Amino acid sequence: MTPWVKRLLVTNVIVALVLQPGTLLYAILTLFPPAVVGLDRVFIPEMPFRPWTLFTYMFLHAGMMHLIFNMIGLFFFGPRLEARLGAKGFLGLYFLSGLGGAAFSFAFSFGAPVVGASAAVYGIIIGFAMYWPRELIYIYGVLPVQARWLATAVVAISLYSGISGSDGGTAHFAHLGGLAVGAGYLRLRDRRLGKDQRDFRRKIEHSRSMDGTPGEARKRWAAIDLESMHALNRNEVEELLARVDREGMDALSVEERQFLDRMSGG
Strand partners, 143: 139
- Is the separation of the CB atoms in 122 and 97 below 8 Å? yes
Of 19, 48, 9, which is closest to residue 32 (Cα–Cα)? 48
Within 8 A by CB and 6+ apart from 115, the residues are 30, 31, 57, 60, 61, 62
Degrees, nearest 5: CA angle 212-214-219: 95
H helical segments located in the chain: 3-18, 24-29, 33-36, 53-56, 64-108, 118-131, 147-164, 172-204, 214-222, 231-247, 254-263
Residue from 118, 158, 209, 264 carrying the catalytic annotation: 118
* Neighbour count for residue 115 (Cβ, 10 Å): 24
- Is the separation of the CB atoms in 122 and 178 below 8 Å? yes
Whether 61 is catalytic: no
Q: For residues 109 and 96, what is the distance between their CA atoms, to the nearest angstrom? A: 19
- Is the separation of the CB atoms in 93 and 127 below 8 Å? yes
Whether 172 is catalytic: no
Residue from 175, 207, 209, 264 carrying the catalytic annotation: 175
List residues with catalytic annotation: 118, 175
